[in-house]
Every structure is written in structure tokens, then in C-alpha cells.
A and B are shown apart, each in its own frame.
Chain A
Amino acid sequence: MPLNSRFWAIIFLSAAFFFSGCTKKKKSYDFDPKNTLFSRLGAEPPSLDWHKSSDTTSAEVIMNMMEGLVEYNLSDPELSLKPALAVKWRAENKAQRWIFTLREGVKWTDGKSFTAQQVVDGWERLLNPATASEYAYFLFGVKNAKAYNSGKIKDFSQVGVHVNSQGELVVDLEAPQSYFPYLLAHHSTYPIRKDVVKKFGDQWTNPRNIQTLGAYRLVKWDHDKAIVLKANKDFYGGEPPIKNVVLHIVKDAQAALNLFDTHKIDILDSLPSVELKHLRKRPEYRTVPLLGIYYFGLNVKKKPTDNVLVRKALSMAIDRKEITDMLGGGQVPMTSWVPKGMFGYMPDKGLKFNVKKARELLDKAGYKDRSRFPTLKLLFNTNEDHQRVAENIQAQLKRNLGINVELGNAEWKVYLSALKSNNTPHIFRMGWIADFPDPDNFLNLMTSYSANNHTNWSNKEFDRLILKAATVTDKKERLRLYGKAQEILVEKEVPVIPIYSYVSTQLVSKRVLGYASNAMGIKKYKEMRLQ
């Protein structure tokens, strides 16, 4: 027995010894909530390198620690541009040449000055084939940019961007682009510190190495946990009111909602859709249109959707409002193509819901005997919301036209490769979210040369209208051209069935002030305050 007790004595003594030497771990993100904003990122940002990242999560972080030449005026519902690193800009040569006057006295986080050359450096890096940037195509409108990116031109000085003797940035385009300045609000066109990238290589986005010039600087990046930003005292627009921003990385919408309800997160967007009907009763609930469309494409090379009458009948037989009511998040039912909240939104265009007419059209197409109508295959990528919409459309077409639709779902990448294959199904689901708030971004999608047009549909007149509209600077004339293009797309030819215009649904804690929910889903912490 003494052996036993001695043994345990040793154990306990050593335990006590270790115990006294140990310290309790500090909680990881223990900031004073009075001057700290807690928000959520929906995923781990793949990269904070603004020339390499290609997703919205990274963009959210980057846009708060960096600035571009221009930025969106978020309180303007039409999202006009306002000066940022450029104080003013003008178009020459019918919008084929753009000249930007840059702000002076802007400092990077290490105190070095911002110069026009850093913008050129940024573009060179973006377009350099070795960078392998996904967003390189954003600048393909710039003269010789595409040739440089594909390696046909090795000398960057041939690309249409340079600094003139007055220190202004001069951009020459391949063809006139009336919306060009919008592209410069995008993070892929931001300036860069070549010296920093060269010094640290792939590691330059580490909080220790990175140099930025925005309202916040990156102080911590715990992968898969959180990103911490601190106010930049030397920001050219003045130190922002919120001193710390903690961005928790929370993948699951349900978990994020739980965290919001336990006051761990102040701002929450992309709410769990099944719960919207319930959540919209809450005082913190907000909804704004989001520049995006939800649509179904039709394969115009496959029987029976090769028949325009059938396509029209399908489009007319679907009650969009039934779908948006079911989803219950305030989505806007839509028969036209350009989303709500953007100029070019023409809600009266398109084929309206009309069961009688739809049935007549189908009769006229030679399917008076509905049993002769082949079963349509509708494919969507696996997701509960897409599934609900697809199941509803299946039921509607059965009810309104008496035709059978077979549903199929596929994992996202399998789905994409199915759309690219020769065997595209009759009907497939797709969506598009704006890269920049201009109708060109949406109508370009359905041109014959667009890689995103999976319908096999092409129309010369449509292509011509879109190309022309891009070069026109007069807003009224553009509107007219886009109106005509939409008529072809959703009334005459109908290779697509638009369903609704997206909305962004959010829960915003009452203590957050000055947050302008906007159609591009951008969050600028520098414009917010805490109560």
C-alpha cells in the first residue's frame, strides 16, 4: 500500500508543478465591442492578393483595406461612381481614351507615397501571363491587353496604359467603352507595390508583409477562423470611426444565424433561405435588390425546345410570382432580362404569365395531343433553393400545360461540364450576378461569342445591338438599344426564361449605423459607425 500512495503522491506533485507553470489561453478575438464591428465572411478567402483572387469573399476584405481609382457611391441607388485614388476623369476620342487625374499625398501603410506608376505596375501584374490571374479579362478592353495576356506581345509598354507628363494616367482602349470607369472600382485593377511583392513572393499577403492604402489594414489572418482589420490612422480620407473589424469565417448559414442571435456577429447576409418567411418579421431584417438574375436556359438545338413556339409556351406557362412567393425573401418576379436596380431594367418587357395563350401556342406547335410531347429534362445544380424552384416549375408545367418534366440534379462542377457538353438538357438553371452595374454585363451573356451562353442560341441582330450599345455614351440611346435587344431575347426568340431579380437579405444589428445596403452587396466599414 505505501507504494501505491507514494506513486500517487508523485503524480499529484508533478501535476501541480506543471499546473502552476501553465497559463490559461486568452480568448482569441477579445476586442472591446464598443469600437469593434463583428461581421461574417461566408468562407475562408482563397487569397487576399487582389490580382489573384476571383471570389466575393476575398473582395470584401480587399475592398476595405485597399482603394481603387474610383469607388461606388453606395448611398446612390443607381450606384454612380465617386472619386477615390483618382480625383477626376474624362473621356476623349468617343470614350476610346480615358484620362485620370490622381490624388496627391496618399500614403501606403508603411509611409511610402502612392504614385501613378503603381497603377501601371498593378495592371502589368494583372495582365502578366505568369500571374495567371482569373480576372485578367477585366482589362481586355485596353489596347493590346489581351495580346499581352496571351503572350503574343512580350513588351508591356505596347499595352494602352501610360503616365503622361502631367502625372495623369492615360488609358487607350481597343474600342470605345462607355462603362470603362466602372471596371476601375473592381479590386483586380487596384495599384500594387511591386517592391513588396518582389520581396515576399507568395507570402506578401501575410499581415506582417502586406502594404495597403485603404481605410483599414490587415493585422491578423487566422485561416478558417477570422480576419482582423484595424483602422488606418494615415488613411487619406481620415481615420474611420470603427477602430477594429473582426470578420469571423462562418460557412454555415444556420451557424451564422445562431451567432447573430447570441450577439457574436453584427451583420449577417445571405440568410438561410428556408427561414426567410420567419426572419423577415424581425426588426433587424433588411432587404435590397441585388444586381443579379435567376433564369432558366433552353437548349435551342434539342427537340422540342428547338421550336420557338414551344419556348414561348414554356415561358408563358410559368407564374413567376408563385415562385417568389414561395421563396418569400422579397425576390422580384421578372420576365425581362436586366435586373431591378440597374438602368435598363424594363419590367414590362417579356412574355407575361398567360395559361390560355401558352396552351394555344403549344397546340400550334403541333402538340395538340399532349401525350406526344416528349418528357423534358430539367437540370439544376444541387442546392435546396434551386430544388424548390425546379420542383415548383415541374408542378406548374404539369398543371398549366399538361406536360411532364423530369428533374435532374448534379454536383456543381459536374453540372458545369454538362452544360458545356453537346448534351445540354432541354432546360437548365443559371444565374448571373453583376461584375459592374451596367446592362452590358448582362446582355453580353447571351451573345453568340459569349462563353457563358449555353443555349446554342445565336442572333446576329442581337450581337450587333450589344456591340453598338457598348460604344454609345448617350444614356438615352443606350437605353433604346438595350430595349430592342431585350425584346429579341425574351419576347421573340426566348432562349431563356428569366424568373426573378435577386435580392440581398440581411440582418443588421441595431448598434450598426451608416451601413448602406446596396445592390452590389458591398460592405464598406469606413462608412459605418457603432452606437
Chain B
Amino acid sequence: MSQQGVPAMSKTPSIDEEVWEQDLKERLFAKIPLFIFSLLMFTVALSFMGYEIPDALLWADFLLVFGVFTVYVVSRHLTLYVFKRLGEAVLTLFIIASLTFLLLRIMPGGPFDRDKALPPEVLANIEAKYNLNAPLYVQYFDYLKGLSRGYLGESYKYIGRGVTDIIMEALPVSFQLGFYSLILAFLLGIPLGVFAASKHNSRFDYFAMFLANSGTALPSFLVGPILIIIFCFWLNWLPAAFWDGPEYYILPVLTLGLRPVAVIARLTRANVLDVIRSDYIRTARSKGLAEKVVLYKHVLKNSLIPVLTFSGPLAAAILSGSFVIELIFNIPGIGKHFVESVTNRDYPLILGVTLVFSFLLVLANLIVDLLYVYFDPRIKLS
């Protein structure tokens, strides 16, 4: 299964020594992504099983991925492109920050509007503390000044806590949850889609798609409680809430993962159908290649491109947490801040989480665009 993401490896033995040598080198080279993939999976498995992950392993993961990406970018002459995109990203983030800043001030209700109204003297002191009594443009430039130094300000709600601290504490949890769900989505979604496409319009197709579609057919605030009732109260197998080890991970990951599984399965199915009907696959078939080989080797690689396009925004959305699932399973992730910072009118925190999300989105889209070239060398990025 893990070989999907890897270029097709030729297994035809060569007689010529020299050619064989070269072949060996190529094959070793081809193994590098596989190795890194295995290492990543190992890390994920370790963390899923509730083990303390050594820092060395995390660094190894990070450096290897980063290194390979750098080598990849440089070898394909994409360095300039990457820098250009990053420059654009800075501009985009700046506009997003400004626009959000403005919208927040238009929105009715202030951060210190309480159900029990505060006396004017008290309110004046608070506004002075947070500089809210200054003209709006001064506040805006102060915020930008802070931003340029990477300072996101201090939360209005959680007194004395920096926005960066709050995000750095909550984001890893959401990342963990999101990462498991994404893996579930790809591991289940792609085979399901291929399977359904290979049996197009048959009972199996309908059944597989029924399975997948069921995952998107109910809102997660309903799926979560249903799973809790079944696995916690009827079967007594899994805990109802918290985030404290493998047994705690299963239900939230399942709840969060069901939708992406379905989406990916459907996308894969549609694209596999698309590719199956294209001419060169017909040629491959007519040459008498085994059905499975055709399906997994030729069809899959080509039909993964649209799935890839979709994976960028999907990854960004899933990694940045889910309000509902974090609420239902009481997971201390970042999802709640996307909703609660707004209802609290906690301006610095709203801006903080918004920027984090846009940064993730921009980054995910960049990575996806870079991967395009890998999957389809005909694509040119400029």
C-alpha cells in the first residue's frame, strides 16, 4: 500500500552489468521517499500508540522531509518559483490581516461588553490597558508593527496569555488529530474509490459508494454522539472523552476522518473512471497487461492528480482543528478558538487563528502545486 506515492519501479532484471549498476542506483534513489515515508508512518504509529516521541526522531523526520523537498525543488529548478510564491503569501497574509482587522471593528459588540455592564471608569481603564481608546489607524499600525516582529499580541479573554502561546499549546493537539484522520482518509478512501470504479455500476460499486457517502450524510455532531453511545455505553470498549492515549484517539479520529474518506473515495472513483476510459489505458489493456497492474500502476498515478488538488485545502482545514469534534470529545485543540474567539470578540486571538489558518492553507497549496510536477512532469510551474 505504501508504494502508491512512489514512482513505478521497474522489476525487469537486466543482464548487462553496467545497466544493472545504474538500475541499482536508480532503485536506491527511488527508495529514499519510501524510506522517509516509512519513518514518518513509524513516528505516527508511535505517537498513536501513546509513546513518548524522542526529539531526535521528530528532528530526523523534519530534516529529512525538508531536505528531500529542498533537493526536489532545486533539482527541478523550482527554487525561484517557491520564493515567488512565498513572497506572494506574505502579501496575501498582510491583506487578510488588514481586512479581518477592519471587519472585526465593524462587527457589533466589543470584547468587554459583559452581561453585567461595567461602570465607565472601569471600562476606561481596560480600554487604556489594551490601547483600545486610541484612534483605529494607530491601533492598526501598532498591530502591524507587532506582526512584523512575529508578535501576535495578548489575548483579551485569557488575561496575560500571549496569542502565540495559546496557539502553540492548542495547535499540536489538532495537528495530531488531523494527521491521523488524513491518514485514515487516504488509506481507506483511495482503495475504496479504486474498488468502486473497477466494478462500475455494479452492486459492489453501489455498496462501496453507499459506505463512503454515509460518512458525509450526517453532520459530525450527530456521528460523534452515536459512536459514543455504541462504543462507550453499549460495548464499553472506549472512553467517552479526553485526549490521553490510543484508546482516546479512536473515536474522534473516526468521526473527523469519515468525511474526508468519503470525499477522497468519490474523487478517486470519478477520476479512475475518467482515466480508465482514456485511450492509452485502453492500449495498455489491449496489450494484454493484467487488469490489476493496469489499475494500480497506470490508472492510479494519473487519477491521483485531482485528488491531490483537493488535498491541499482539505489538509489545511483538517489540521486546523474541528470545533464540533473537539467539543464533543473534549479535546484541547485549536478548533474551539476559531469559534470562541469570535464570540468573545477576542480581537488578537481571532487575528491569530485566522493567520494560522491562512498560512496553513497557503503552505498546503504550495506543496500540492509542487507535487503536481512530480506526478505529471508535463505540468510547468512558473
Which positions in A face B, CB cutoff 8 Å?
3, 7, 11, 15, 18-19, 21-25, 27-28, 44, 46-47, 49, 52-54, 129-134, 136-137, 140, 146, 149-150, 202-203, 205, 222-225, 248-252, 254-255, 258-259, 261-262, 264, 411-414, 416-418, 420, 430-432, 435, 451-452
Contact = CB atoms under 8 A, between A and B. Distances in A.
A136 B122 contact: yes
A452 to B, nearest CB: 5
Contact of A413 (B54, B108, B119, B228): B108
A451 B128 CA distance: 20
A431 B109 CA distance: 19
Given A44-B158, A248-B330, 14 more contacts: A18-B42, A19-B46, A24-B52, A27-B244, A27-B245, A129-B125, A149-B122, A202-B160, A252-B327, A264-B242, A413-B343, A414-B109, A417-B109, A417-B113
Contact of A129 (B51, B128, B158, B242): B128
B1 interface: no
Given A224-B169, A413-B343, A451-B117, A23 B51 contact: yes
A262 B228 CA distance: 11
Best-surrounded residue of B112, B113, B125 (most CB of chain A within 10 A): B125
A223 B120 CA distance: 32
A150 B121 contact: yes
A251 to B, nearest CB: 6
B328 A133 contact: no
Contacts of A129: 125, 128
B327 A452 contact: no
Given A417-B108, A452-B117, A255 B330 contact: yes
Interface in B113-132: 113-122, 124-126, 128-130
Nearest to B332: A224
A509 B156 CA distance: 36
Contacts of A258: 228, 232, 240-241
Contacts of B109: 411-414, 416-417
Contact of A261 (B24, B126, B233, B343): B233
Interface string B197-226: 000000000000000000000000000010
- Interface size class on chain B is 35 or more
B38 interface: yes
B122 A137 contact: yes
Contact of B241 (A15, A25, A52, A255): A255
B159 interface: yes
A23 B110 CA distance: 47
Nearest to A18: B57
Interface of B: 24, 27-28, 31, 35, 38, 42, 46, 49-54, 57, 107-110, 112-122, 124-126, 128-130, 157-161, 166, 169-170, 225, 228, 232-233, 239-242, 244-245, 327-330, 332, 336, 343, 345
Nearest to B50: A25
Contacts of A44: 158
Contacts of A49: 159-160
Contacts of A3: 24, 27-28
A254 B113 CA distance: 28
B54 A255 contact: no
B158 A46 contact: yes
B80 to A, nearest CB: 35
A250 B330 contact: yes
Contacts of B121: 136-137, 146, 149-150
A18 B42 CA distance: 10
A28 B239 contact: no
Nearest to B57: A18
Nearest to B126: A132
Listed residue (A28, A134, A140, A264) with the most chain B CB atoms within 10 angstroms of its CB: A134
A255 B327 contact: yes
Nearest to B113: A416
Given A3-B27, A149-B122, A412-B343, A25 B51 contact: yes
B119 A137 contact: yes
A219 B54 CA distance: 26
A22 B52 contact: yes
